[in-house]
């Protein structure tokens, strides 16, 4: 949510930002917010002036009574009584306008950074840098589901019976590999100085709307029937919500957290749930990193965070690249974002395994997260980044460590988490 003072003073800048995001259909929201805000502030001013006059007249009543001026006191009493009715109408109007204004403001996208390339969708994202040499072996690499099934590690037939499409059973060494990668990601981030956290896996609606746009919420979140609770799509939701309505001491910034959670997503509007494999699912596990910092330190942490993800994947012998997300591919709350993509030797192309985003004060304004220091009280900058999403990371890991005989090599960094194993082999 942007600072409303910018919309008041420079509505044309807000519209120009919308155009860069190809959201011309939302331009009318700027004019609507402008007019409602104008009416709302006029109502507040009128109510404030009326209260001041009421207080003045009320004080005069006592003075008039002491002076024996009963007629003047009665006139004031009558006027104060009339004011009560006027104030009630103004307060009712305030109560109507405030949520209406907030709802519109929450639909207006955040300002993107000047360095973000302008483009309509993810097809116009821009490659930044490659890390590691993409390699295609001389032998064929099967589809990842076939590799895992050959190792007795995947059962989607049973999960179809219990849960439907978009779920899975991982078994044996493959299940252990999934847990090993998550544990490795946890320790990797702890070694970087981040505090480890396991958050709630359900959050209330006011937290959901504080961390994401309404469109994202409808497309992603599962609601618990009969309760004001949603299953989280990523632990970032809980982690940012942890600081809702809090004032953090400025000297405590930056707050750097790394968190584990299962993730639940409807994936509405996606390219389709992966029926055979584990690429696009309703449920997976993820390790996330979240940072709260001063606004001026945001870009420093943004670049630091995506580099951690690159470093982790390279330690597992997985070549990766980074892509700058264009304006049309940015969610409404994001200032700037980049994707980390892993190399697929089977497909001979890269695919997304993580995303790093800086959101400025968009989330902190919605959730009321501020810091207090010598310079006063101000909203904090929030950032989030995928450390490792279990299923997609596993696909990249398996393909890049697949041997011709069907076994999977375990890189040295992961061996302590696999009981010293150097290979996963068929049994």
Mean pLDDT over each residue of the chain, to the nearest integer: 94
**C-alpha–C-alpha distance, residues 260 and 258, integer Å:** 7
| pLDDT value, residue 308 | 98
- Please state the rounded mean pLDDT for residues 375-391: 96
Q: Is the pLDDT of residue 277 over 80?
A: yes
Confidence of residue 404 (pLDDT cuts 50, 70, 90): very high
**C-alpha–C-alpha distance, residues 131 and 317, integer Å:** 10
- Please state the rounded mean pLDDT for residues 278-286: 94
- Please state the rounded mean pLDDT for residues 201-221: 92
- Check: CB of residue 235 under 8 Å from CB of residue 259: yes
Q: Is the pLDDT of residue 269 over 70?
A: no
- Check: CB of residue 319 under 8 Å from CB of residue 134: yes
Task: Give the whole-number percent of the chain exceeding pLDDT 90.
Answer: 85
Angle at CA of residue 31, ends 25 and 36, nearest 5°: 130
Domains and CATH numbers, the chain: 4-105 (1.10.287.40), 122-424 (3.30.930.10)
Taking only the tens place, the pLDDT of each residue in 48-68 is 998 888 888 888 888 888 888
Query: 218's torsion region: left (phi>0), alpha (psi -120 to 50) or beta?
Result: alpha
User: Could you give the 3-state DSSP secondary structure of residue 389?
Assistant: strand
Q: What are phi and psi of 134, to 5 degrees?
A: -60, 135
Confidence of residue 270 (pLDDT cuts 50, 70, 90): low
| pLDDT value, residue 128 | 96
Taking only the tens place, the pLDDT of each residue in 283-300 is 999 999 999 999 999 999
Taking only the tens place, the pLDDT of each residue in 312-362 is 999 999 999 999 999 999 999 999 999 999 999 999 999 999 999 999 999
State how far the alpha carbon of 311 is from the alpha carbons of 76, 186, 199, 252, 390, in Å: 75, 14, 25, 27, 17
Q: Is the pLDDT of residue 69 over 80?
A: yes
- Check: CB of residue 235 under 8 Å from CB of residue 261: yes
- Please state the rounded mean pLDDT for residues 218-232: 94
**C-alpha–C-alpha distance, residues 119 and 134, integer Å:** 27
């Amino acid at each position: 949510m942007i600072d409303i003072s910018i919309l008041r003073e420079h509505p044309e800048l807000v519209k120009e930002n919308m155009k860069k995001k190809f959201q011309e259909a939302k331009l009318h929201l700027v004019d609507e917010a402008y007019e409602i805000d104008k009416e709302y502030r006029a109502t507040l001013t009128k109510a404030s002036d009326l209260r001041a006059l009421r207080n003045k007249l009320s004080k005069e009543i006592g003075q008039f009574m002491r002076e024996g001026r009963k007629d003047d006191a009665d006139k004031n009493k009558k006027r104060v009584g009339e004011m009560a009715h006027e104030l009630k109408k103004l307060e009712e109007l305030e109560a109507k306008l405030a949520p209406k204004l907030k709802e519109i403001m929450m639909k207006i996208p955040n300002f993107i950074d000047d360095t973000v390339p302008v483009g309509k969708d993810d097809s116009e994202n821009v490659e930044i840098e490659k890390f590691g040499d993409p390699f295609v072996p001389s032998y064929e690499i099967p589809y990842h589901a076939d590799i895992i099934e050959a190792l007795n590690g995947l059962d989607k037939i049973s999960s179809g019976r219990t849960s439907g499409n978009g779920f899975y059973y991982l078994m044996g060494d493959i299940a252990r590999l999934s847990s090993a990668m998550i544990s490795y990601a946890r320790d990797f981030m702890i070694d970087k100085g981040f505090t480890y956290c396991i958050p709630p896996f359900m959050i209330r609606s006011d937290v959901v709307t504080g961390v994401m746009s309404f469109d994202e919420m409808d497309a992603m979140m599962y609601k618990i029937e009969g309760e004001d609770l949603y299953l989280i799509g990523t632990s970032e939701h809980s982690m940012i919500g942890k600081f809702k309505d809090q004032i953090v001491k400025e000297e405590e910034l930056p707050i750097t957290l790394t968190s584990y959670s299962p993730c639940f997503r409807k994936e509405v509007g996606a390219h389709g749930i992966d029926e055979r494999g584990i690429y696009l699912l309703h449920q997976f596990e993820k390790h996330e990193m979240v940072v709260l910092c001063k606004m001026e330190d945001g870009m420093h942490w943004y670049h630091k965070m995506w580099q951690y993800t690159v470093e982790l994947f390279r330690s597992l012998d997985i070549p990766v690249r980074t892509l700058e997300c264009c304006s049309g591919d940015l969610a409404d709350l994001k200032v700037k974002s980049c994707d980390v993509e892993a190399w697929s030797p089977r497909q001979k192309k890269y695919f997304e395994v993580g995303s790093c985003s800086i959101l400025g004060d968009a989330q902190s304004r919605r959730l009321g997260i501020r810091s207090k220091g010598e310079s006063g009280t101000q909203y904090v900058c929030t950032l989030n980044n995928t450390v490792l999403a279990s299923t997609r990371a596993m696909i990249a890991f398996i393909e890049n460590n697949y041997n011709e005989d069907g076994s999977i090599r375990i890189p040295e960094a992961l061996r302590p988490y696999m009981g010293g194993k150097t290979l996963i082999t068929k049994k």
